[in-house]
C-alpha cells in the first residue's frame, strides 16, 4: 500500500506536504489546502508556528482537532520504490520558498513528498536517502515531536522534527559524516560572525539557519543528480535514451516525467 494513514481511511494522492504546525504529512489537494488554511485561522496559528503536540489547547492541537472534524488526518507513511529527489525554489508575494521533493512509485502511481528545505525533518530524511538506491523499496515518514516542560508547564518546551526511512533491511541510518560536515560549516560561520562587533545573536542564528538550509539544498541537488543519471542509464538499457533530468519550470519541478505544482506555500 503506497499511503498509510493513522486511521487507515485516507485516499491515495499524488502530492503530500509536510506541515510543521501539524507535525505530519497531509495529502496535498486544493480542497485540503483550503481546509488547512481554515484550521490555521481557527487555531490562531502564525505561518511560522511549529508543532506543539496534539493535546491541550495549543495552536497545533486546535488545528488538528478542526481538521479531524472535517475528516482530514495525517498520513503516517508513504511506501514504494524510490524514483527521484529534487530541489526547487519558487517565489510568492515576495517570499522565496525553498523545497525538496521526494518521489516514490507504487503499482504504477507516483507519490511525491513536498518538504521545506529548512526543516530539520527534511535534513534527517535526506541524510537517510543518501543510503538508498534508485528503485529500492522504501517506507518513508516525516513527523514532528513535542516535549512539554514537565517541571514547569509555563516554561520552555522542546519541538523537533524527524524522519524514518525503512527498507527490507530495516531502518536506514543517516549518511556517515553528514552531521559532522554541516556542524563544521555552522561552527565556522558562527566564529566568523561572532568576531564582528555589533552582530547580534539573532543575526547569527538567522545566518546559521540559512547556511544549514544551503548545505542540505546542495545535498538534495546532488542526490537528485545521481538518481537522474541512474534513471538515464535505466532508460538507455531499455532503449529509451531521453534525458530524465529534474528541470525547474516556472515554479514547478519535474521528476521522472511528472510535473509537480509548487505554486502554493504550506
Domain ranges in the chain are: 3-177+212-258
User: Can you give the pLDDT at residue 153?
Assistant: 64
CB atoms within 10 A of CB 168: 8
Give the model's pLDDT for residue 158. Answer: 83
CA distances from 33 to 67, 72, 159, 252 (A): 11, 11, 24, 17
The x, y and z cell numbers of residue 225, run together, are 543528480
Owner of C-alpha cell 548545505: 215
Under 8 Å between Cβ of 6 and 122: no
Ordered per-residue pLDDT tens for the chain, 266 residues: 465 544 333 334 478 999 999 999 999 988 999 999 999 999 999 888 899 999 889 999 999 999 999 999 999 999 999 999 999 998 888 888 899 999 999 988 889 999 999 999 999 999 999 999 999 999 999 999 998 777 666 666 789 999 999 999 999 999 988 888 988 998 999 989 988 998 899 999 999 999 999 999 999 999 999 999 999 888 888 776 554 444 443 344 555 545 455 544 44
Per-residue pLDDT at 220? 96
Give dist(CA 87, CA 64) in Å, integer. 28
CA atoms within 13 A on the CB side of 162: 9
Distance CA 228, CA 125 (A): 19
Residue for grid cell 531499455: 238
What pLDDT score was predicted for residue 2? 61
Say if CB 85 and CB 104 are below 8 A apart.
Answer: no
What pTM did the predictor assign? Answer: 0.85
Q: What is the mean pLDDT of the chain?
A: 85
Quick one: pLDDT at residue 6? Answer: 41
Distances (CA, A) of 130 to 12, 45, 123, 178: 26, 34, 11, 10
Amino acid at each position: 500500500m503506497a499511503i498509510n494513514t493513522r486511521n487507515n481511511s485516507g485516499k491515495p494522492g499524488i502530492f503530500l506536504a509536510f506541515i510543521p504546525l501539524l507535525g505530519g504529512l497531509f495529502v496535498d489537494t486544493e480542497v485540503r489546502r483550503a481546509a488547512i488554511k481554515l484550521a490555521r485561522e481557527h487555531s490562531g496559528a502564525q505561518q511560522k508556528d511549529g508543532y506543539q503536540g496534539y493535546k491541550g489547547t495549543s495552536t497545533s492541537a486546535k488545528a488538528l482537532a478542526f481538521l479531524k472534524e472535517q475528516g482530514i488526518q495525517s498520513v503516517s507513511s508513504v511506501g514504494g520504490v524510490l524514483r527521484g529527489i529534487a530541489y526547487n525554489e519558487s517565489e510568492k508575494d515576495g517570499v522565496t520558498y525553498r523545497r525538496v521533493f521526494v518521489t516514490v512509485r507504487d503499482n504504477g502511481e507516483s507519490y511525491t513528498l513536498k518538504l521545506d528545505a529548512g526543516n530539520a525533518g527534511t535534513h534527517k530524511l535526506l541524510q537517510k536517502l543518501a543510503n538508498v538506491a534508485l528503485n529500492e523499496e522504501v517506507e518513508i515518514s516525516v513527523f514532528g515531536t513535542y516535549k512539554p516542560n514537565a517541571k514547569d508547564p509555563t516554561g520552555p518546551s522542546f519541538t523537533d522534527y524527524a524522519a524514518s526511512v525503512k527498507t527490507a533491511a530495516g531502518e536506514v541510518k543517516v549518511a556517515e559524516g553528514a552531521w559532522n560536515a554541516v556542524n563544521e560549516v555552522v561552527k565556522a560561520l558562527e566564529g566568523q560572525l561572532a568576531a564582528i562587533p555589533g552582530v547580534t545573536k539573532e543575526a547569527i542564528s538567522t545566518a546559521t539557519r540559512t547556511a544549514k538550509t544551503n548545505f542540505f539544498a546542495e545535498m538534495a541537488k546532488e542526490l537528485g543528480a545521481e538518481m537522474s543519471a541512474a534513471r538515464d542509464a535505466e532508460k538507455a538499457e531499455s532503449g529509451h535514451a531521453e534525458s530524465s533530468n529534474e528541470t525547474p519550470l516556472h515554479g514547478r519541478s519535474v521528476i521522472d516525467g511528472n510535473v509537480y505544482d509548487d505554486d502554493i506555500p504550506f
